């Protein structure tokens, strides 16, 4: 992982695909963005994570180094005051140019961590999307999620009521088989600095 920004209150990291945002279950899954920040930055709180990316999603994450920063950033994410933009390669050619996807979905308790469409018990996820280009039979798409549901962009891309084309190398909703290969990248992240209130914006190009 690569540190993009660091000060007394926060650290912004670019996470590679295939690397955990927070520790998983078991000793073999401790290594993660959160664990490395906590153990390498002096004075960091025990739980610096305020949001996360899926293991196979690459891109930008902000972590809090103090309790006050953690509280402030968590509230910004909860109240949707942050702004996140993603880039993905879809495993096929998409016809439309842009639009908004709104679908209810929930965890499949018999097949974790898979998420399923459910009009009755699902929670609404909303994502704006725009086609960028067709590249050798694949489609580059920019995604702007309004909500932050688990696997939201992946489901909105793959589901027939969404774009109907999975993200390339998605191991859950597409044809991916190897970890660290999925073509979904958190390319920009904006939020208010928890101490100064200054609006900060970070960008990093996708590795694909």
Active-site choice (7, 54, 56, 169): 54
Tokens 């920040």 identify what position? 37
According to DSSP H, which parts of 106-145 are helical?
none
Cα R_g (the chain), whole angstroms: 17
CA atoms of 140 and 94, how far apart (whole Å): 9
N-to-C CA span, the chain: 17
Beta-sheet pairing, 184-192 with 199-203: antiparallel
- Chain Cα centroid distance, residue 186: 6
Is 54 tagged catalytic? yes
How far CA 77 is from CA of 101, 121, 130, 194, in Å, comes to: 20, 23, 23, 12
CA atoms of 46 and 97, how far apart (whole Å): 44
CB hemisphere CA count around 131 (13 angstroms) = 15
Catalytic residue list: 54
């Amino acid at each position: 992982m690569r540190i993009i920004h660091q000060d007394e209150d926060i650290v912004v990291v670019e996470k590679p695909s295939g690397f955990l945002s927070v520790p998983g279950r078991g000793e073999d899954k401790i290594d993660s963005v959160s664990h490395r920040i906590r153990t390498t930055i002096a004075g960091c709180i025990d739980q610096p994570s305020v949001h996360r990316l899926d293991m196979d999603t690459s891109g930008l994450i902000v972590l809090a180094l103090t309790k006050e920063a953690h509280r402030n950033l968590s509230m910004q994410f909860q109240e949707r005051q942050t702004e996140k933009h993603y880039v993905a390669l879809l495993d096929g050619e998409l016809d439309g140019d842009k639009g908004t996807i709104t679908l209810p979905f929930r965890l499949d308790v018999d097949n974790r961590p898979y998420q399923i469409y459910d009009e009755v018990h699902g929670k609404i996820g909303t994502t704006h999307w725009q086609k960028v280009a067709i590249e050798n039979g694949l489609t580059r798409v920019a995604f702007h999620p309004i909500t932050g549901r688990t696997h939201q962009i992946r489901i909105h891309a793959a589901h027939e009521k969404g774009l109907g084309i999975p993200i390339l190398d998605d191991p859950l909703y597409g044809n991916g088989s190897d970890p660290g290969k999925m073509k979904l990248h958190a390319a920009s992240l904006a939020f208010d600095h928890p101490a100064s209130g200054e609006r900060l914006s970070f960008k990093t190009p996708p590795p694909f």
